[in-house]
Chain A
């Protein structure tokens, strides 16, 4: 660096001649007087070189620091401003479509005029999904998935509307329209929503990893420390040459550089901590809880469809069993994963309750099947609609949604705080660099002036 470039010749006497070059030992080149002040061998010459090198090194480090800060600030900004909202949209699309599917099945199972609360929840699910699809499109979400979703959703709505109309007339074809609607939902809409959600959570994780990544910051800090060492060697050299203990300009550059470096490290440590907390107490448990919630909704739809098709243990019952197996018992599966992920997050308590409730609901399912299989179809329908099984499902669903909401808020707060840590840092780095370079130029040029 600047210091090391100067030191090899640091002890040479003041002279206007350069040392003989190895290839021409006898030659003693006379340096013309007009070039004396610029010669690299002279103290002013070295001083000049040092001045230029120190300024260039300072500017280079400033550029590096500014780039690093810009990278991390922009990644943190992406997490908060782009990836998080898109992921939320995707999650909302996926969850509300699953819930709409469930509500439509519940409405048909109720027979005749669907219960007002079921209709309201279905309408609100569809509305939420539509707004989220529009928002995701406006935020530049993947076009293919969003197109599948918006086209498929209108087909789905039309089929459900026909199903409800036929059901009101007392026509059994209503249940067939619901089967068609639910089939389309499961074949096209939910996979697209799932793909969108997976893609967006993937992007969120990538952006988060960029914002919390270490390599660039470490390089910036190491280069900064090296620059500081350069300042130190430069002032030692000046001490030897000019017998001035302190150089004000160099001292200013050193101090400002130290402050800038500390700010950078402090901001990064704080921001990274917040973003990591946003992950561990926010996005990670939310993803696990969402996975569990979707499996619960899917299982509930299957439970309803088994009763709607009313052909005993059919393929929907198999699907229910698959969903129940995926949710698992307390030790493995989506429930255990959600509980583990949510441990220590604000939703820990609700996640714990949700796990217990979901298991209670799954346990009630056997009662529903036994009642239905013994020929008491209406008894089974009542169990699911308003009885013990229905109540257990409502409770589980509520707890899961509360848990998701709590950890989503935790994610948002921490991610915003993480982004806030980078506020002003970029401008600060630029200003600090300019002040440092200015200080060096001022301090060294004053020494240089003493040779004039």
Chain B
């Protein structure tokens, strides 16, 4: 492997906690970063299909919301903060502060974004770092201090539970419930459909739908989803995810499972030829098996801008969170977290324009 070793992890000691994960990172060195920053295909095979993330994001800032309905712009649909984050009396932040902990709905199986590290049994990742920022701002604790974890109750939730759990509204067959969490940080794409049910923060991560395949034994580039479809091979996605639509579009055989890691099992056992979803998630899967490769869809590109989901009943909390994100970006901690979890050569600040609806 000629990729840059992920020494950025060692350098980026912004969080003073033991990095047991380093051992595993050595195996997956540099995997996550390459595609997100430079190319979707491995370096020897970086073809024209692989669109560099930075350029893609820049292009999107100019012509946003390629895959969304024209009625909304996921990159500029959130609420503008009222100055720096402050816990105003009577606000939802105040409620959380009096309660003593923030309840966050998170993923626990998406490596490097939100996952339960089996080694220290802690939930960590890029999504989790955003939650640390929000909790730190509410409770007046430095988010890089582990003390902030004592102020968060992480509730691991499934993809399908994200909207019902944060809004209390029924969504896609999941029955309504009273809001169970204050905020959701769960590789959650801002879409126009979802914007009708929940509010989102500004975009904190910009993902793109890609294909994960087993690297061919020769030096050739791995197949795209479109090519898998031509060969009538099977591709895997989680049940009910939008990625299933891409598999159907490509005319590949669709295989649906509950979790993304279940797709990795099927890929490793040869039951499917590809996994289709956001590159952020695919990087996490690839980091667990160095024999894999991320390729393009071979179809119309699909953008997946991530936001933190909050109930529509709490606009003051949305503004607060956006203020927190703005502060995080300005302080450089966003870049540090991005470089730690996603790409060691990540940009110093988001490459997309942070816009607001009002």
Contacts and interface: CB of A to CB of B under 8 A. Distances in A.
A375 interface: yes
A309 to B, nearest CB: 7
B158 interface: yes
A179 B180 CA distance: 26
A312 B24 CA distance: 28
Given A169-B24, A171-B288, A172-B261, A314 B158 contact: yes
Contacts of A168: 118
A175 B103 contact: no
A378 interface: yes
A180 B288 CA distance: 17
A180 to B, nearest CB: 5
Contacts, number: 99
B157 A175 contact: no
Given A111-B121, A375-B103, A175 B109 contact: yes
Interface residues of B, number: 40
Given A166-B288, A169-B27, A172-B108, A180 B155 contact: no
B194 interface: no
Contact of A170 (B23, B101, B258): B23
A169 B259 CA distance: 19
B285 interface: yes
A173 interface: yes
Nearest to B112: A172
Contact of A312 (B119, B120, B161): B161
Interface string B99-118: 00101100011110001111
| Residue among B20, B111, B155, B264 with most chain A CB within 10 A | B155
A180 B262 CA distance: 8
A173 B261 contact: yes
Interface in A160-189: 166-177, 179-180
Nearest to B27: A169
B27 A375 contact: no
A33 to B, nearest CB: 101
A375 B123 CA distance: 12
B21 interface: yes
Contacts of B161: 311-312
B341 to A, nearest CB: 14
B21 A170 contact: yes
Given A173-B265, A180-B265, A310 B111 contact: no
Given A111-B119, A179-B262, A312 B288 contact: no
Contacts of A310: 108-109, 116, 156
A176 B21 contact: no
Q: Is the interface of B mostly helix, strand, loop or mixed?
A: mixed
A374 B154 CA distance: 8
B153 interface: yes
A366 interface: no
Interface string A361-392: 00000000000011111100100000000000
Given A171-B111, A310-B108, A176 B262 contact: yes
A254 B155 CA distance: 87
Contacts of B116: 111, 172, 310, 377
A376 B101 CA distance: 11
Contacts of A180: 262, 265
Interface residues of A, number: 29
A45 interface: no
A312 B155 contact: yes
A375 B155 contact: yes
A173 B155 contact: no
A4 B111 CA distance: 96
Interface string A104-120: 00001001100000000
B260 to A, nearest CB: 8
Contact of B101 (A174, A375, A381): A375
Interface string A242-275: 0000000000000000000000000000000000
| Residue among A173, A175, A378, A381 with most chain B CB within 10 A | A173
Interface string A281-309: 00000000000000000000000000001
| Residue among B27, B110, B157, B288 with most chain A CB within 10 A | B288
B156 A312 contact: yes
Contacts of A373: 155, 180
A309 B101 contact: no
A312 B158 contact: yes
Contacts of B289: 173
B31 to A, nearest CB: 13
Contact of B111 (A111, A172, A314, A377): A172
B101 to A, nearest CB: 7
Contacts of A314: 158
B109 A112 contact: no
Contacts of A177: 265
Contacts of B264: 173, 176
A111 B108 CA distance: 13
Contacts of A375: 101, 103-104, 152-155
A172 B265 contact: no
28 contacts: A111-B121, A112-B118, A166-B288, A169-B24, A170-B24, A171-B24, A171-B288, A172-B108, A172-B115, A172-B261, A173-B261, A173-B285, A173-B288, A176-B261, A176-B265, A309-B259, A310-B108, A310-B109, A310-B116, A311-B157, A312-B155, A312-B156, A374-B153, A374-B155, A375-B101, A375-B154, A377-B155, A377-B156
Interface of A: 108, 111-112, 166-177, 179-180, 309-312, 314, 373-378, 381
Q: Which 7 residue pairs spanning A and B have beta carbons closest together?
A: A375-B153, A176-B261, A310-B156, A311-B158, A111-B118, A171-B288, A170-B119
Given A112-B118, A176-B261, A375-B101, 19 more contacts: A108-B118, A111-B118, A111-B121, A169-B27, A171-B24, A172-B108, A172-B288, A173-B265, A175-B118, A176-B259, A180-B262, A310-B109, A311-B161, A312-B157, A312-B158, A374-B153, A375-B103, A375-B104, A376-B153
